[in-house]
């Protein structure tokens, strides 16, 4: 393709947004139609080993609920009012037949709600393969790696049965390599946004990442490469915005309108924990040796710190926000947390205390994935951005 044919930023964002907006998972269904005999496997937040699904010949499909575009009718009958919104919208998607193309669904150990949802899935959809993904929590790296390796081997075996394809070590290694590239691309996007947030608004980056969880990894990498090229070709002007980190949104995702409201209120989002599973492994997984062992060790030696993992360092929580803000060269933190989210809300007092001890400005609000009114968030974020600019150097 000649340079004159390079897709524009607008075209790429529109394409990504179409994929993200499509609650019938058209991209997944098209892939299945184009690949007769192949199957798809879903996974919920936060972290699931997509390499294993890919190596078994399955298309990994991120399930993040229906956001603000789905009317909940059946889902509410499954949950009390004080349970977060995500599981009810996931059930709504499933009960309305929108997830009927998934042959397997993985439920990571994010919280008790997702954990129990795995049992509900077993009862509701006995024909699907369902696995609760219990990641290691012990700080003993040897025991953790052995445990996680055995869990991954079980997944290889089980998903191989689902797909009918039992991968060789070479195929597993190849999938690890592909997802190393995927993660490298996500890191490149995040780095570019941190350096030039005016050029890579989060509302664009976010839909690109959401689409990336519904299409093959190769397509996501190509689309992201095109996007970065388009950004270079169409630079924008910096504004006098405040640089903020958004914390707490690693599971139930904020509506796009909330992200846009924060940005339009005068904040550049320069780091966040949206779709955290995309970059749960912060470094490349080694390609030498046994690929399953390499994946297990990469998880255990990983330096990702998040509310869904035990923090073994007593000072870890105190330092985390300060380190995060320093790395992103940010001015402040927005704790944006889904209502009733145990991991985020239980962590927040510790994280906020650490931030405030380091004199980092913070605000906090709660949302649900189907929140439809953004004015209050815009006002709060706007006031926050103004206060940083007015008083930030005081």
Partner 1 sequence: MAEALKDRSMVLQKEMIANHFARLARAPETGEPVVYTFVPGNLTELIRSFDALPVLPEINALQSGMRKLSGDYIAEAERAGHSEDVCTYVKCDIGMMRSGNLGPGGLKLPKPDLLLLSYTGCYTFMKWFELLREEYDCPTVMFHVPYQGDGVLEPEHRNYMLRQLKEQVIPALEKATGRKYDEDKLRHHLALSAKAEDDLVAVLQAGKNRPSPIDGYFGTVYYVGPIFSAFRGTEEGVEYYRALRQEVEERAALGLGPITPDGPLEGERYRLVVEGPPNWTHFRDFWKMFSDEKAVVVASTYTKVGGTYDFGFRHNPDDPLGTLADYCSGCYTNLNLPTRIEMISRYIEEYQADGFLINSVKSCNSFSAGQLMILREVEKRTGIPGAFIESDLVDPRYFSAANIKNRLESYFQMIDARRLGKTA
In the complex, the residues that contact partner 1 under the rule CB under 8 A are 77-80, 82-83, 87, 107, 109, 111-113, 115-120, 122-124, 131-132, 134, 136-140, 142-143, 146-147, 150-151, 154, 307, 310-312, 314, 317-318, 337, 339-343, 345-350, 352-353, 366
Q: Which is nearer to partner 1, 29 or 78 (CB)?
A: 78
108 and 114 Cβ atoms separated by less than 8 Å? yes
Min CB(153)–partner 1 separation in Å: 9
Distance in Å, CB of 164 to partner 1, minimum? 21
Distances (CA, A) of 14 to 8, 185, 213, 223: 10, 20, 16, 12
Cβ proximity to partner 1: between 16 and 91 the closer is: 91
Which CB, 162 or 350, lies closer to partner 1?
Answer: 350
CB of residue 271 vs partner 1: minimum separation in angstroms? 22
Q: How far is the CB of 92 from partner 1 (least distance, A)?
A: 14
Q: Please identify, using beta-carbon distances, which residue of 314 and 372 lies nearer to partner 1.
A: 314
Instruction: Tell the smallest beta-carbon distance from residue 248 to partner 1 (Å).
Output: 11
- Please tell me the chain's helix, strand, coil percentages from 3-state DSSP, rounded to the nearest 5: 55, 10, 35
Closest CA to 64 of 370, 271, 332, 269: 370
DSSP symbol at 65: -
Q: Nearest CA to 333 among 392, 260, 275, 252?
A: 392
Contact of 354 with 321, CB cutoff 8 Å: yes
* Min dist. Cβ of residue 154 to partner 1 (A): 8
Dihedrals phi, psi of 128, to nearest 5 degrees = -90, 150
**With respect to partner 1, which residue has the nearer C-beta, 124 or 221?**
124
Dihedral angle at the C-alpha atoms of 372, 66, 255, 64, nearest 10 degrees?
Answer: 160
Q: How far is the CB of 77 from partner 1 (least distance, A)?
A: 7
Q: Across-strand partners of 43?
A: 62, 106
Tokens of 112: 């008790």
The smaller minimum CB distance to partner 1, of residues 153 and 187, is found at: 153
Nearer to partner 1, 42 or 212 (CB): 42
Specify whether the CB–CB gap between 364 and 334 falls below 8 A.
yes
């Amino acid at each position: 393709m000649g340079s004159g044919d390079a897709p524009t930023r607008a075209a790429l964002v529109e394409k990504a947004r179409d994929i993200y907006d499509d609650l019938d998972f058209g991209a997944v269904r098209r892939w299945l139609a184009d690949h007769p005999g192949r199957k798809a496997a879903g996974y919920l937040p936060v972290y699931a080993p997509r390499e294993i699904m890919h190596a078994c010949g399955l298309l990994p499909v991120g399930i993040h609920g229906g956001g603000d575009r789905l009317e909940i009718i059946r889902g509410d009958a499954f949950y009390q009012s004080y349970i977060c919104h995500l599981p009810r919208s996931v059930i709504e998607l499933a009960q309305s037949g929108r997830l009927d193309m998934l042959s397997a669904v993985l439920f990571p150990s994010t919280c008790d709600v997702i954990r129990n949802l795995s049992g509900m899935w077993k009862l509701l959809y006995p024909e699907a393969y369902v696995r609760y993904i219990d990641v290691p929590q012990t700080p003993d790296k040897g025991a953790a790696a052995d445990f996680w390796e055995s869990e991954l081997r079980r997944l290889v075996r089980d998903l191989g049965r689902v797909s009918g394809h039992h991968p060789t070590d070479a195929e597993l290694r190849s999938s690890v390599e592909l997802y190393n590239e995927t993660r490298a691309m996500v890191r490149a996007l995040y780095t570019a946004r941190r350096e030039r947030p005016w050029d890579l608004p989060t509302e664009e980056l976010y839909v690109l990442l959401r689409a990336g969880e519904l299409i093959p990894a190769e397509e996501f990498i190509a689309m992201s490469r095109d996007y970065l090229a388009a950004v270079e070709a169409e630079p924008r002007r910096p504004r006098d915005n405040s640089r903020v980190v958004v914390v707490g949104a690693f599971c139930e995702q904020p509506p796009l309108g909330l992200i846009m409201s924060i940005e339009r209120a005068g904040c550049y989002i320069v780091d966040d924990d949206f779709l955290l599973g995309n970059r749960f492994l912060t470094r490349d997984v080694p390609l030498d040796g046994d690929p399953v062992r390499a994946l297990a060790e990469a998880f255990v030696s990983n330096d990702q710190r998040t509310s869904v993992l035990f923090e073994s360092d007593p000072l870890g929580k105190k330092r985390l926000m300060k380190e995060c803000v320093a790395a992103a060269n940010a001015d402040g933190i927005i704790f944006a947390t889904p209502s009733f989210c145990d991991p985020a809300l239980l962590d927040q007092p510790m994280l906020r205390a650490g931030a405030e001890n380091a004199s980092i400005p913070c605000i906090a609000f709660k949302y649900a994935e189907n929140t439809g009114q953004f004015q209050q968030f815009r006002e709060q974020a706007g006031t926050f951005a103004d206060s940083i600019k007015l008083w930030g150097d005081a």
